[in-house]
């Protein structure tokens, strides 16, 4: 027999937890499915210094625990597990956890986030949170006056390199192709910045260092006759090759863009399915900040409350 709830939240990052705080305070008695990574992407960094209310910074797991306890205080129920199937063609909406436990909900808030794309080399996982980052805005501050590398050649990589150049002593851009894919204006900003050195036709082989990133082994013109190995000394390694929104599970019901991000109605969290709302990075290809995700979670809960009262 299915568990019947008013509001079901999928995801346990800043968007999901904030939605839970607002939904529980609206007496919706929400159930939050925590998913495989408690705290979401935020927990891949070492310290959060730019979230309001923490003047001395905070460890990401502590911040997420604070949010969770706040939601729990107002009556949110938490369920450990992964959502494996949904049916948004019916009302109430149906959601299955681990293929066995079924929930029926008047409103569903999708807050499944996005996952950074990685190169696939073993050492980037080894140094994750210890010099490897997928967010310059989140972690760049820790590398002031140091040397870092940014991987990628598109607009995002150029934006990250320029941002880091304002903080760091030197920024390498490791670009696989012999050219930048970024827009002309972004290319010029990078190429004209004296702190940025672009390494065209380079691939990262591995990262090195004792306990943290201290260098990177690169190969120039991999597979060509003039292939050359190169080592650079760095303190941080930033991936800027894109993100995968975690939305594949919902593709048969909610509209998504070409990259897989859920399409919402203007500035609202409403999707094309009445009673289904999206919050956080799964619907945000631009900002990917905890504070923005939290705000969208609040909006999703407010809209869910309005919807439930209207049916």
Strands (E), the chain: 3-10, 31-33, 77-79, 83-87, 93-97, 101-110, 114-116, 132-133, 147-151, 170-175, 196-200, 202-208, 215-220, 228-233, 236-239, 243-245, 276-278
Q: Which of 138, 158, 168, 282 is catalytic?
A: 138
Annotated catalytic residue 138: yes
- Are the beta carbons of 235 and 214 closer than 8 angstroms? yes
Closest CA to 36 of 63, 13, 14: 13
Q: Which of 66, 87, 99, 135 is catalytic?
A: 135
User: What sign results for the dihedral spanned by CA atoms 29, 60, 164, 200?
Assistant: negative
Q: Which of 7, 106, 139, 284 is catalytic?
A: 139
Annotated catalytic residue 282: no
Annotated catalytic residue 139: yes
17-51 burial, b if ≥16 CB within 10 A, otherwise e?
bbbbbbbbbbebebbbbbbebbbbbbbbbebbeeb
CA distances, 185 to each of 174, 198, 201 (Å) = 19, 16, 21
Give Cα 290 to chain centroid, integer Å: 9
Active site residues: 135, 138-139
């Amino acid at each position: 027999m299915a568990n019947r709830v008013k509001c079901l939240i999928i995801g346990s990052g800043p968007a999901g937890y904030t939605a839970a705080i607002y939904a529980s305070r609206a007496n919706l008695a929400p159930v939050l499915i925590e998913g495989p990574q408690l705290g979401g992407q935020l927990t891949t960094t070492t310290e959060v210094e730019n979230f309001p209310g923490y003047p001395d910074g905070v460890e990401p797991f502590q911040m997420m625990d604070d949010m969770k306890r706040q939601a729990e205080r107002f009556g949110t129920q938490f369920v450990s597990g992964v959502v494996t199937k949904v049916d948004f063609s019916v009302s109430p909406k149906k959601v299955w956890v681990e293929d066995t436990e079924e929930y029926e909900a008047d409103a569903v808030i999708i807050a499944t986030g996005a996952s950074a794309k990685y190169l696939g080399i073993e050492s980037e996982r080894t140094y994750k949170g210890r010099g490897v980052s997928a967010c310059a805005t989140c972690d760049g501050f820790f590398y002031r006056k140091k040397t870092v590398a940014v991987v990628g050649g598109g607009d995002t990589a150029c934006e990250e390199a320029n941002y880091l150049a304002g903080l760091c002593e030197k920024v390498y851009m490791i670009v696989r192709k012999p050219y930048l894919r970024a827009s002309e204006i972004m290319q010029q900003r990078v190429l004209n910045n004296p702190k940025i050195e672009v390494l065209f036709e380079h691939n990262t082989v591995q990262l090195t260092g004792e306990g943290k990133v201290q260098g990177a082994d690169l190969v120039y013109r991999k597979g060509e006759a003039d292939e050359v190995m190169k080592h650079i000394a760095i303190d941080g390694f930033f991936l800027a090759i894109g993100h995968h929104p975690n939305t594949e599970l919902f593709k048969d019901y909610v509209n998504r863009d070409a990259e897989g991000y859920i399409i919402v109605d203007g500035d609202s969290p409403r999707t094309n399915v009445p009673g289904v709302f999206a919050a956080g990075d799964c619907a945000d290809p631009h900002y990917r900040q905890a504070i923005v995700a939290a705000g969208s979670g609040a909006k999703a809960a407010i809209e869910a409350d309005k919807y439930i009262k209207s049916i």
